[in-house]
Amino acid sequence: MDIKQNILDAVNEWLTPTFDNTTQDAIKEMMATSPKELEESFYKSLEFGTGGMRGVMGVGNNRINKYTLGKSTQGLSDYLHTAFPNQPIKAVIAYDCRHNSDTLAKVVADVFSANGIHVYLFSSLRPTPELSFALKYLGCQCGIVLTASHNPPEYNGYKVYWEDGGQIVPPEDEGIINVIENLNYNQIKFTANEDLIEYIDTEVDAAFIKSTIENASFGTSAAAKENLNIVFTSLHGTSITLVPDTFEQAGYPNVHIVEEQRVPNGDFPTVKSPNPEEPEALAMALALADKTNSDIVIGTDPDCDRLGVAVRNNEGQMTLLNGNQTMILMTAFLLEQWKKAGKINGKQFVGSTIVSTPMIMELASAYGVQFKVGLTGFKWIAKMIKDFPELQFIGGGEESFGYMVGDAVRDKDAVAATLLICEVAAQAKEKGSTVYKELLQLYVEHGFYKEHLISITKKGMEGLAEINQMMVSLRENPVKEINGQRVIMLEDYKSSVAKNLLTGEEDIMDMPKADVLIYYTEDGSKICARPSGTEPKIKFYISVNTELDAVENFSKVEASLNEKIKNIIAAMQLN
């Protein structure tokens, strides 16, 4: 095949003595036998997306390896010295269960230490939210976690956190990227100063668990905790290091762990995907729940920042809740607890994202609490806490199964969220209700919102071009009508323009630019198109709503909303 010049230039750079013999041999093998793989490995450089830098492991500038991570860490080190002049700089590093995470974490530690930065390195795998906590607890300016969340086994990634405990956002992200892009690979300092690398574990663990219990416990009685029957699975990930201990110290004794998925394993051998959004990932946990007659099933993704929850419906069958539903349940519970404690005075807020259910805005309004909305990704919710220091953050979440309780951790946190949803379940059961019944009652009180996600995978260079073309078409030929309903508003976050399609009036949106389009129809439906920042996918988020006058009518009203979603999918040719 004919290889483009920019790819050949990148390949030739990687065949210089800057790169070790193993790397060069792997490239030569690709050149001889896999030109397509060579092209995919070198046609672009890995970029920071909503979740940092994530990609397939291998050789090349479009792959996760010691050189791409080394270059990022060298650039980050240079930026840190500029941002924090004349002061000692400290960084903390955590990593998950994925292949090479431990060795890549040590490479990152080596580069930091070679640049005179004191490094706290977790001695073994840990949940991502503990990294955010540890950053503030240890007084660091920066944190790194090596993880690719729920991506397939061949992936790994690199997430950067700043001194507030949240992931990097403007202006730091742009500044760091500029420094990295102006570096050459031969400028990376790989020779560690081992005196600057300090291993951490149990002390930080104990502090994190203590903080979690303080933030996510709300006066649930010991009897209610003992009466709640829980199934938990770590899906071969990091949560096994902390969640069982958190349950024990919080006073929940009846926890059944899926033993086949207890041991951390980067191959995730018992699931197609370790993604708690997908019912198949929780199949073993659901089977154990029926065997043990449990009330609730909780599964966390490999780096323990997101959780999937299943509860018994009104027929006693286990039903998987979606991320919007768990977010609504936990937010409503938190708001009610704050109200009972007399702590709501108008100076509090909850946060969410533009692709999540609008129902959370209705909840906040009902409790007299401010609502803040940001772009996709928890770094924007964490930034809200920094941007509004005069307000108290109650909690917040997004549709992709992440939630944050209070501000001790500035990222989605499945350790705290696991405890919080058990508080919801235990208190509901104690008063003769269930989590499911609580959700239906919220629909009666605040409106029945139902969401659906369409995710279309387009891999590689060609796939990226297809995704880009889909977004171009949606922009240049905006849909005027969806399922018989006129589109009344189009928000384009790339141009920062919100246009009323009925009047032609345009408003400028005060939000960072992003490749996102949102259509609003006259019946209150919302359809969002967004390419993923961390996966080769384009996603369409559909939200519809109506009134629910009584719990007894739930099934009938849900059927009508399902039909509306089906018609929207057909109208937009997404099936």
> What is the 3-class SS of 62-89, one letter each residue?
CCECHHHHHHHHHHHHHHHHHHCCCCCC
Q: Quick one: pLDDT at residue 266? A: 96
Calpha distance 120→142 (Å, rounded)? 11
Give me the catalytic one of 41, 101, 132, 149.
Answer: 149
C-alpha closest to that of 531 among 520, 517, 521? 517
DSSP, residue by residue, 301-342: -TTSSBEEEEEE-TTS-EEEPPHHHHHHHHHHHHHHHHHHTT
Q: What is the mean pLDDT of residues 19-44?
A: 93
Whether residue 358 is predicted with pLDDT greater than 60 in this model: the reply is yes
One-letter amino acid of 24? Q
Mean pLDDT of 488-500: 95
Which of 8-12, 15-19, 462-466 reaches the highest mean pLDDT?
A: 15-19
- Position 158 scores a pLDDT of 96
Residue 94 near residue 62 (C-beta atoms within 8 A) = no
pLDDT tens-digit profile of 190-230? 999 999 999 999 999 999 999 999 999 999 999 999 999 99
**Residue 51 confidence (pLDDT):** 58
Whether 149 sits among the annotated catalytic residues: the reply is: yes
% of the chain beyond a pLDDT of 70: 99
DSSP character at residue 167: B
448 membership: H or E segment, kind and range: strand 448-457
Contact, 387 vs 523, CB < 8 A?
no
Q: Average per-residue pLDDT in the chain?
A: 95
Helix (H) or strand (E) holding 7: helix 5-14
| DSSP conformational letter for 149 | T
Q: What is the mean pLDDT of residues 118-124?
A: 98
Say yes or no to pLDDT of 471 above 80: yes
The two three-digit tokens of residue 481, written as one number: 């009508």
With cut-offs at 50, 70 and 90, classify the pLDDT of residue 394.
very high
pLDDT exceeds cutoff 80 at 494:
yes
Q: Which residue has the higher pLDDT, 470 or 241?
A: 241
The mean per-residue pLDDT over the stretch 358-382 comes to 96
The three-class DSSP label of residue 490 is strand
pLDDT band at 64; cut points 50, 70, 90: very high
Q: Mean per-residue pLDDT for 380-387?
A: 95
Taking alpha carbons only, the member of 526, 525, 518, 520 closest to residue 474 is: 518
CB 501, CB 490: distance < 8 Å = yes
At 50 the pLDDT is: 53
Residue 388's Cβ-count burial label (10 Å; 0-12, 13-18, 19+) is middle
Q: What is the CA radius of gyration of the chain?
A: 24
Is the pLDDT at 515 greater than 80, yes or no? yes
pLDDT grade, residue 483 (50/70/90)?
A: confident
Average pLDDT for 242-264 = 98
Read off the pLDDT of residues 413-460 as tens digits, 9 standing for 90 and up. 999 999 999 999 999 999 999 999 999 999 999 999 999 999 998 887
| Percentage of the chain lying above the pLDDT 90 cut | 86
- Express each pLDDT in 309-349 by its tens digit: 999 999 999 999 999 999 999 999 999 999 999 999 999 99
The pLDDT of residue 323 = 96
**Over 90: is that where the pLDDT of 2 sits?**
no
**Separation CA 527–CA 354 (nearest Å):** 11
83, pLDDT greater than 70: yes
Cα–Cα distance between 212 and 440 in angstroms, integer?
Answer: 28
